[in-house]
Amino acid sequence: MSNVLLIEDDAAIRTSLTRGLRDRGHAVSSASAALDGLRLAVEERPDLIVLDLGLPDMDGLDLLRMLRAVSRIPVIVATARDGEAEMVTLLDAGADDYIVKPFSSTQLDARIRAVLRRAGESRADSSVTVGGLRVDPRTREATLDGVPLDLSPKEFDLLHYLAARPGEVITKRELLTHVWQIPYGGADKTVDVHLSWLRRKLGETSSDPRYLQTVRGVGIRLAAPA
């Protein structure tokens, strides 16, 4: 199951697509305006965003650029504009795919699965380097300044998830969902304990962080030391 955020101002289309995607196993949240969609994208951190261009408070292309400034969540643009120049502009602005209206929820579901499959393959296969930290998911090895880190399987999964999103603030709920496969519930202590263990192996503490920076009341961010 994937978590999809649908940003669409037409209530009938929004209702139809929400029903169709839920019938196909997706969890769907929605917004009818750009700024509400941006807020939900930051708060909920969905697996994928379906973005309509014709929004009442902002052009969807401007919202796409704003999303790309703060997140790498895959975005499928839904548009009635089918000119080649328009499509090039959307892809250059950071869209992962586009779908031209009118379309069915079946077509959209196929696009969603394809985009998420590509995103998953890209993240799963690529090693990540942040400062002196290197994480390789293929060999499940992590090094800090060239020195191997002795990590448990879950510590490695946690480090890789954070390192693959450098500079992004990740909520504990997102970590529970994607690292522990717990979609709901309040097992925040599990995340806190593993972060504490991970900090120790990275040679830092919560009061003197280097890579793992707590954003109070929001979540955790992995970034190269200043």
**Which of 18-22, 27-31, 35-39, 135-139 is the least confident region?**
135-139
Band of pLDDT at residue 184, cut at 50, 70 and 90: low
What is the spatial order of strands in the sheet that 169-170 belongs to? 169-170, 219-222, 212-215
Residue 151 scores a pLDDT above 80: yes
Contact present, 219 and 172 (Cβ < 8 Å): yes
**Residue pLDDT, tens place only, 100-126:** 888 999 999 999 988 888 776 655 567
Q: What is the pTM of this model?
A: 0.59
- Hey, what are 95's tokens? 């869209």
Q: In sequence order, what are the beta bridge partners of 27? A: 3
Q: What is the pLDDT of residue 74?
A: 92
**Residue pLDDT, tens place only, 26-84:** 999 999 999 999 999 988 889 899 999 989 999 999 999 999 887 888 999 998 877 77
Residue 224 scores a pLDDT above 90: yes
Higher pLDDT, 111 or 226: 111
Mean pLDDT of 122-147: 86
- Hey, what are 12's tokens? 């009938």
Higher pLDDT, 134 or 139: 134
Q: What is the pLDDT of residue 8?
A: 95
The enclosing H or E element of 29 equals strand 27-31
Higher pLDDT, 162 or 226: 162
Q: What is the pLDDT of residue 173?
A: 82
Instruction: Please give the Cα distance from 121 to 104 (Å, whole number).
Output: 26
The enclosing H or E element of 217 equals none
Mean pLDDT of 81-98: 83
Mean pLDDT of 131-160: 92
**Residue pLDDT, tens place only, 58-71:** 999 999 999 988 78
